[in-house]
């Protein structure tokens, strides 16, 4: 029996691989599905190897049932089971990091890729050699594609991306390899400047790329020169790919869900961020200028989600109040959906009740911090009073909240941060019927964020690694101040 993808003999064929990500378990990623949808519309064939979904599926303990979450979207996951899977993943990785020729690294450093090129390559080759059986089983009986593509969303996927690419090269010698995705976009300038990034990929593509991907497949099919947006590592030049902003209906392939989990499909009605000012955030840089998309794409996802009895997670970086209203009208109560927003006076109880009646079940709120000095530092001002009113409105409307909160800002008193976080937590738990969780993250200085391009007074960049989007930093207070944070 044929178990792998089957290519038709029409146009070019590509195999698109998503390396293990281990953050989501309830559905596919949007970017690869957009590429598949665009390619199929143009008569090409793209099959997907979702190694994220497959890795989670094989690592889940058979006897422990997946407990459905009351949240919709990225937080619809069984936290305990996912943590178990992540722990298994870390143990697998532990066998491949460090130990040779002075290249030993801690597991944490390797997962964050705070490592030089030779250490990264060493670990990737170790994964390719020692996990060969599993990787080969995933290829199954897949026929030789015309093109092997990899979508990399964040640094934690790079080792497996390299390892599986090396395995694919061995299995299908001569098949060209192209990498893209948000992490490639974030590192595009570095990749173009240094040939050492090219140990496994022939070319890279930065930015949303539906149009460029179709052009690339056409070039592969006809042996024509590749589009100039496909750049080589060390070529010293790169430019953003071209995208179809909204007509493409994504095609979701290779779906694997934990037994008992509900499928969530991703959709988008805008790209970029209408606010675009948060100094810690890389989205405006990686996603490009803010623009609203035509709604054909999201409408296609909604229709498919209804057919599959799935939820929809809107992946827009920021659904402003007008965009939330637009999503509400599009969905019109036909399924449950989630989205990401920030505090706004418009999000009052009347609006949230409207959204709830239109199917909105979970809103992720980028609160980040309520401390004045941290808000000034990151240029995201949101009042405590507005936060409390939003909690009350969500409570009354029955909309669940995921509240993103951050501590560890440079120059900000950690005890003040802890006190403020505790206040946020106690305000949340005081509203007993409110379904809410606080997603607490530690501040990281991201390459490409305004704070790393123009570090504030006292912040010094102390470390930079080729594949990591996170920079090392230290903070020295100006003379006369007392605090030191690093």
Residue 154 vs 275, nearer CB to ligand SF4: 275
Q: Does 200 bind ligand SF4 (CB under 6 A)?
A: no
Residue 239 vs 372, nearer CB to ligand SF4: 372
For strands 470-475 and 445-446, give the pairing: antiparallel
CA 253 vs CA 198, 295, 483: distances in Å: 28, 21, 52
Tally the C-alpha atoms within 13 A of residue 126's C-alpha that lie toward its C-beta.
17
CA 79 from chain centre, in angstroms, equals 18
CB 185 to ligand SF4: min, Å = 15
CB 373 to ligand SF4: min, Å = 18
CB 41 to ligand SF4: min, Å = 29
Residue 27 vs 450, nearer CB to ligand SF4: 450
CB 344 to ligand SF4: min, Å = 11
d(CA 445, CA 410): 10
d(CA 246, CA 162): 31
Give the one residue of 96, 342, 361, 447 binding ligand SF4; rule: CB under 6 A. Answer: 342
Residue 13 vs 317, nearer CB to ligand SF4: 317
CB 290 to ligand SF4: min, Å = 9
d(CA 348, CA 397): 9
d(CA 459, CA 438): 28
Whether the CB-CB separation of 301 and 311 falls below 8 Å is answered with no
Residue 277 vs 460, nearer CB to ligand SF4: 277
Residue 160 vs 283, nearer CB to ligand SF4: 283
Whether the CB-CB separation of 382 and 367 falls below 8 Å is answered with yes
CB 318 to ligand SF4: min, Å = 4
Sign for the CA dihedral angle at 67, 341, 308, 31 comes to: negative
CB 440 to ligand SF4: min, Å = 16
User: What region, left, alpha or beta, does residue 243 occupy, with left being phi > 0 and alpha being psi -120 to 50 degrees?
Assistant: beta
CB 269 to ligand SF4: min, Å = 15
Report the site for ligand SF4 in 262-291 (rule: CB under 6 A): 273, 275-278, 281, 283-284
CB 283 to ligand SF4: min, Å = 4
Give the one residue of 318, 365, 403, 485 binding ligand SF4; rule: CB under 6 A. Answer: 318
Residue 177 vs 367, nearer CB to ligand SF4: 367
Tell me, by CB under 6 A, how many residues bind ligand SF4: 12
Residue 139 vs 275, nearer CB to ligand SF4: 275
Residue 300 vs 339, nearer CB to ligand SF4: 339
Residue 177 vs 186, nearer CB to ligand SF4: 186
CB 391 to ligand SF4: min, Å = 19
CB 343 to ligand SF4: min, Å = 10
Give the one residue of 142, 317, 358, 452 binding ligand SF4; rule: CB under 6 A. Answer: 317
Residue 97 vs 378, nearer CB to ligand SF4: 378
Contact footprint for ligand SF4 (CB under 6 A): 273, 275-278, 281, 283-284, 317-318, 342, 366
């Amino acid at each position: 029996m044929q178990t792998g993808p089957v290519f038709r003999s029409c146009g070019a064929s590509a195999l698109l691989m998503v390396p293990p990500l281990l953050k989501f378990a309830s559905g596919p990623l949007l970017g690869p599905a957009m590429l598949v949808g665009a390619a199929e519309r143009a008569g090409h064939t793209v099959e997907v190897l979702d190694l994220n979904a497959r890795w989670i599926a094989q690592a889940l303990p058979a006897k422990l049932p997946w407990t459905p979450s009351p949240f919709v979207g990225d937080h619809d996951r069984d936290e305990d089971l996912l943590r178990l899977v992540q722990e298994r993943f870390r143990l697998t990785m532990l066998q491949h990091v460090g130990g040779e020729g002075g290249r030993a690294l801690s597991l944490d450093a390797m997962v964050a890729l705070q490592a030089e090129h030779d250490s990264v390559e060493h670990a990737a080759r170790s994964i390719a050699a020692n996990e060969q059986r599993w990787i080969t089983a995933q290829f199954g009986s897949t026929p030789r594609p015309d093109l092997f593509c990899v979508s990399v969303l964040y640094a934690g996927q790079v080792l497996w991306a390299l390892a599986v690419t090396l395995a694919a090269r061995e299995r299908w010698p001569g098949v060209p390899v192209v990498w893209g995705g948000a992490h490639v976009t974030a590192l595009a300038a570095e990749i173009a400047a240094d040939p050492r990034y090219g140990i496994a990929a022939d070319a890279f593509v930065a930015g949303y790329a539906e149009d460029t991907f179709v052009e690339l497949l056409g070039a592969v099919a006809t042996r024509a020169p590749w589009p100039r947006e496909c750049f080589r590592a060390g070529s010293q030049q790169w430019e953003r790919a071209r995208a179809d902003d909204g007509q493409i209906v994504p095609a979701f392939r290779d779906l694997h869900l934990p037994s008992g989990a509900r499928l969530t499909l991703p959709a988008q009605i805008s790209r970029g961020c209408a606010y675009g000012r948060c100094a810690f955030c890389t989205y405006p840089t990686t996603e490009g200028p803010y623009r609203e998309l035509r709604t054909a794409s999201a409408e296609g996802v909604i229709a498919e989600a209804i057919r599959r009895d799935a939820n929809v997670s809107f992946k827009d970086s920021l659904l402003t109040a007008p965009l939330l209203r637009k999503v509400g009208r599009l969905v019109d109560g036909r399924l449950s959906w989630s989205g990401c927003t920030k505090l706004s006076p418009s999000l009052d109880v009347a609006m949230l009740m409207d959204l709830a009646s239109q199917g909105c079940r979970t809103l992720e709120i980028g609160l980040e911090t309520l401390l004045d000095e941290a808000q000034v530092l990151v240029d995201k001002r949101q009042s405590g009073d507005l936060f409390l009113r939003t909690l009350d409105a969500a409570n009354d409307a029955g909309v669940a909240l995921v509240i993103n909160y951050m501590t560890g800002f440079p120059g900000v008193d950690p005890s003040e941060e802890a006190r403020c976080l505790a206040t946020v937590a106690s305000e949340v738990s005081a509203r007993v019927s409110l379904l809410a969780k606080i997603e607490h993250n530690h501040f990281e200085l991201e390459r490409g964020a305004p704070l790393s391009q123009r570090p504030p007074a006292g912040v010094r960049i102390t470390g930079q690694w080729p594949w990591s989007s996170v920079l090392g930093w230290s903070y020295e207070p100006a003379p006369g101040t007392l605090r030191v944070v690093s």
